[in-house]
Amino acid sequence: MTQNAGDGTPQTFFFDRFGLDASALEATLGSALARRADFADLYFEFRTVQGVALEEGSVKKTTHSVSQGVGVRVLAGEKTGYAYSDEVSVERLQVAAEHARQIASSAAESTAVDLRRVQPSRAHALYPVASADIARPLPERIALLERVDRAARAYDPRIVNVMASLAIEEKVVLIANSAGELVSDRQPLLRLQVACIAEHEGRRHSASAGGGGRVAFDFLIDDEERAIAFAREAARQAVVAFDAVDTPAGQMTVVLGPGWPGVLLHEAVGHGLEGDFNRKGTSAFSKLLGQRVASELCTVVDDGTLPSRRGSLNVDDEGTPTRRNVLIEKGRLTGYLQDRLNARLMGVEPTGNGRRESFMHYPMPRMTNTFMLAGEDDPQDIIRSVDRGLYAVSFGGGQVDITNGKFVFSASEAYLIEGGRIGAPVKDATLIGNGPDVLTRISRVGSDLKLDEGIGVCGKDGQSVPVGVGLPTVRIDGLTVGGTQA
């Protein structure tokens, strides 16, 4: 069995900690393939998370959690057998392999498959963060949150409460499969979240901001203290809402601001481009490869190789190196996001998008960092081109039906556009449309592509994974807006 483990440290970590070696992994994989099966893999995980939360100026909670385990997967045709154990030992590996094999394979016996020895592709090195960062002293983390609290309150006297939380995570993974690959990775993750509540004349509004990525703690205190900037941004959004007017309802021109509004692209379009939905024919984009599905101004990319980004990975959760995948190029659908199972069944290559929440979950096709490439228009010219419309710069919740692409999204911060100028903020604005149809209505794309600050979490089939989104300023013609004023 060959290996691709960078400096070898993550692999050595598992072998030393649990008394494993390559021969034990090969024996387990051989057991998993003892019946009729196409593929088997083992996913080992050791995760440490340090958390601290502050509310009303006081520390409300500190956490330190450690989890470990191994998942065994067997693929036979379209069937997946999966079993896991939070006890990592040779004996438990064998038991999990037998259970996964029984779930996936037919009753017919077949000869055990010999492990092939294949040199895996070279992994990336996207987030060189020292492992000691997980042990950052608690007083230092609390002091940062206290500065965040003071900065948010100082922004405006109407801020009456601040809630701030910081999580530092380190995950070590080891993946072995029946193709003969042994891949390991050490994956850091940092996330700061700040929420502010503002009160004025009996009215209350709340807003949140934050950021992070696969970065070190110092990321938050570099560049004139990013953490303080997040605090001020949350406070700003909370107090802006006091000046909000009713949202006019009906069809109108909508301009999406750069950055976080890319979450609409992620939800309304990205999920529909995942391989499992398209293999099963349940996506609005099924069987449309090569066809025009968007304005020729639109090129949509999913890229898991962006250094230090929240959605990036050196290898996905199946051990496949991540890559830059162009999904829509100048309006034409060029590809789907694939894990190993769906890629094999569709006769294509995996794209490095096999992801799982933890060792307790099997992988499936998921996004990494999904965004639209920049265009050539000046963002201010795009605003000036709209006589009457809506400028949406931040979104909250939303619902999407991937079978037909229909979506409803709530804009947490949006403004009227009147006579080519940004006007008053509005309240309770929702955007209603159809993902594939919306892409065809994009008439201008700005030159200001921006990625989000690093707070995205994506849910699918009960699993949550960290992701990134991005967007330049775009103009969408004739989008339905639901509001408070008819």
High-pLDDT (> 70) share of the chain, %:
92
Closest CA to 126 of 280, 305, 272, 275: 305
The rounded Cα 49 to chain-centroid distance in angstroms is 18
For residue 62, the one-letter residue type is T
Helix intervals (H) in 54-126: 90-104
High-pLDDT (> 90) share of the chain, %:
77
Out of 192, 209, 242, a domain closes at 242
Q: Are residues 276 and 194 in the same domain?
A: no
Out of 242, 268, 293, a domain closes at 242
In a domain, 4, yes or no: no
pLDDT reported for residue 193: 97
Which of 134-148, 362-376, 445-459 has the least mean pLDDT?
A: 134-148
Rounded to two decimals, what is the model's pTM?
0.93
Helices and strands of the chain, counted as H and E runs: 10, 24
Q: Are residues 237 and 315 in the same domain?
A: no
Q: Are residues 77 and 23 in the same domain?
A: yes
Q: Are residues 299 and 163 in the same domain?
A: no
Residue 214 near residue 187 (C-beta atoms within 8 A): yes
Q: Are residues 230 and 126 in the same domain?
A: yes
Q: Are residues 54 and 122 in the same domain?
A: yes
For residues 29-38, average pLDDT: 82
Q: Distance between the two ends of the chain, CA-based, in angstroms?
A: 66
Confidence check: pLDDT of 115 > 50: no
Q: Are residues 223 and 323 in the same domain?
A: no
For residues 276-305, average pLDDT: 96
Q: Are residues 261 and 234 in the same domain?
A: no
DSSP letter (8 states) at residue 5: -
pLDDT-derived band at 128, boundaries 50, 70, 90: confident
Out of 224, 242, 260, a domain closes at 242
Q: Are residues 211 and 266 in the same domain?
A: no
The rounded Cα 453 to chain-centroid distance in angstroms is 12
For residue 325, the one-letter residue type is N
Q: Are residues 221 and 295 in the same domain?
A: no
Reading phi first (left if > 0) and then psi (alpha if -120 to 50, else beta), residue 292 is in beta
> Which residue range(s) make up the domain with 56?
9-242
In a domain, 3, yes or no: no
Confidence check: pLDDT of 212 > 60: yes
CA atoms within 13 A on the CB side of 72: 30
Which of 4-18, 239-253, 335-349 has the least mean pLDDT?
A: 4-18
Distance (Å, whole) CA 218 – CA 321: 27
What's the total number of domains in the chain?
2
In a domain, 117, yes or no: yes
pLDDT in tens, 298-329: 999 999 999 999 999 999 999 999 999 999 99
Residue 363 near residue 465 (C-beta atoms within 8 A): no
CA-to-CA separations, 330 to 285, 296, 301, 351, in angstroms, rounded: 16, 4, 11, 20
Residue 234 near residue 195 (C-beta atoms within 8 A): yes
pLDDT reported for residue 131: 60
In a domain, 327, yes or no: yes
In a domain, 264, yes or no: yes
pLDDT-derived band at 106, boundaries 50, 70, 90: low
Which of 44-48, 217-221, 321-325 has the least mean pLDDT?
A: 217-221
Q: Are residues 107 and 180 in the same domain?
A: yes
pLDDT in tens, 403-455: 888 999 999 999 999 999 999 999 999 999 999 899 999 999 999 999 999 99
Q: Are residues 162 and 104 in the same domain?
A: yes
Average pLDDT, rounded, for the chain: 91
pLDDT reported for residue 107: 43
pLDDT reported for residue 399: 82
pLDDT in tens, 321-364: 999 999 999 999 999 999 999 999 999 999 999 999 999 999 99
Confidence check: pLDDT of 113 > 60: no
pLDDT reported for residue 119: 52
284 φ, ψ to 5°?
Answer: -65, -15
pLDDT reported for residue 457: 95
Provide the CATH number for the domain around residue 215: 3.30.2290.10
DSSP letter (8 states) at residue 266: I
